[in-house]
């Protein structure tokens, strides 16, 4: 093999941060809302039971305050979920896959195809009903280095998986 070690002009390298990212499917937001509604219903019932059991402590004012606080937490939590959802996006380049996530802490994770070990598709109850799924990409790095892209239509997820498998084959040959 011929040894090449020419100077590299960093400014001419392809830039991961300027790639146009594809936002994930809107149905994923519905799934998140479903989960949140389930959680909050459980919390709400638990809160009601506590209030009834300690009714001598809960005056009308205290009960009202608790409910107001609960509503505020609900609102903030839905807002946060929306912001987080809005920031989830991905892109496929020739040699790697890019995934962006997070609102309060935004991250851009890039994994080259020649480092991917395998990938899997899974879907929870709500996801299955709405016809979306999650694509997980595993590399040999530590467990938190795996990328999981939620909110892909089943077709997209399958296509992506096929593409990645093709790419892995090409890169390793």
Partner 1 sequence: MALAQIIFKTIIQLAKIFWPAILYILLRADGKNNKGDDFIFIIFPVIALIKSFFDFIFFKFRVTEEDIQVKSGILSRKQITLPLYKIQTVHINQTWIQKIFNISELAFDSPGTEKAEITIQLRQLEAEELMGIVLKKNKSAAAVENHEEQISQLSLIDLLKLGLTSNHFETLLIVIGLFLSFLNNIKDIVDDYNDNLLEDSTNIILGSSILLILTGVFALFLLSILASLIRTILSYINFRITKSTSGFVVNKGLINKSQKLVPFKKVQYISWKTNWIRKKISMYIFEFHTIGKKELKNNLKIKVPVISIPVLTELAKSYSTDISEHFPSGLKVHPTFLYRNTFFWGILPVFLIFFPIFLYNKSFSIALLLIPLYVFLHYYLYTKKFLFSWSDNLIEVQKGVFGKQIVILKWENIQSIKISQSLYQGQKSLANLIIYTAGGTITAPYIPIEAAQELQNFGLFKVENSVNHWQ
Q: Does 15 bind partner 1 (CB under 8 A)?
A: yes
- C-beta of 6 vs 56, nearer to partner 1: 6
Q: Tell me how far apart the alpha carbons of residues 4 and 83 are, in angstroms, rounded to a whole number.
A: 46
Residue selected from 115, 120, 124, 148 as contacting partner 1 according to rule CB under 8 A: 115
Give the residue among 111, 119, 109, 115 at the shortest CA–CA distance from 158: 119
- C-beta of 56 vs 107, nearer to partner 1: 107
Q: Does 110 bind partner 1 (CB under 8 A)?
A: yes
Yes or no: say if 117 and 167 are a contact pair by the CB < 8 Å rule.
no
Yes or no: say if 120 and 15 are a contact pair by the CB < 8 Å rule.
no
Shortest reach from residue 75's CB to partner 1, in Å: 19
**Both tokens of residue 120?**
């899997």
CA angle 82, 142, 111 (to 5 degrees): 65
- C-beta of 15 vs 20, nearer to partner 1: 15
Q: Does 60 bind partner 1 (CB under 8 A)?
A: no
Q: Does 10 bind partner 1 (CB under 8 A)?
A: yes
Q: Does 1 bind partner 1 (CB under 8 A)?
A: yes
Q: Does 95 bind partner 1 (CB under 8 A)?
A: yes
Q: Does 105 bind partner 1 (CB under 8 A)?
A: yes
Q: Does 89 bind partner 1 (CB under 8 A)?
A: no
Coil vs helix vs strand at 119: strand
Q: Does 141 bind partner 1 (CB under 8 A)?
A: yes
Yes or no: say if 123 and 132 are a contact pair by the CB < 8 Å rule.
yes
Shortest reach from residue 34's CB to partner 1, in Å: 28
Yes or no: say if 21 and 98 are a contact pair by the CB < 8 Å rule.
yes
Q: Tell me how far apart the alpha carbons of residues 84 and 94 are, in angstroms, rounded to a whole number.
A: 27
Give the binding site for partner 1 (CB under 8 A): 1, 5, 8, 10, 13-17, 95-96, 102, 104-115, 117, 139-145, 147, 172
């Amino acid at each position: 093999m011929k040894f090449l070690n020419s100077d590299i002009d960093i400014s001419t390298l392809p830039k991961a941060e300027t790639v146009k990212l594809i936002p994930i499917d809107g149905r994923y937001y519905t799934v998140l809302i479903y989960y949140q509604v389930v959680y909050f219903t459980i919390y709400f019932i638990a809160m009601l039971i506590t209030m009834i059991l300690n009714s001598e402590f809960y005056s009308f004012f205290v009960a009202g305050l608790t409910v107001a606080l609960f509503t505020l937490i609900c609102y903030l939590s839905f807002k946060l979920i929306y912001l987080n959802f809005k920031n989830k996006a991905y892109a496929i380049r020739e040699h790697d896959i890019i995934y962006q996530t997070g609102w309060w802490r935004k991250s851009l994770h890039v994994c080259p195809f020649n480092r991917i070990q395998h990938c899997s598709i899974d879907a929870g109850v709500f996801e299955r009903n709405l016809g979306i799924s999650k694509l997980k990409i595993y590399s040999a790095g530590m467990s938190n280095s795996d990328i999981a892209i939620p909110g892909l239509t089943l077709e997209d997820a399958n296509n992506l998986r096929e593409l990645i498998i093709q790419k892995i084959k090409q890169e390793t040959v």
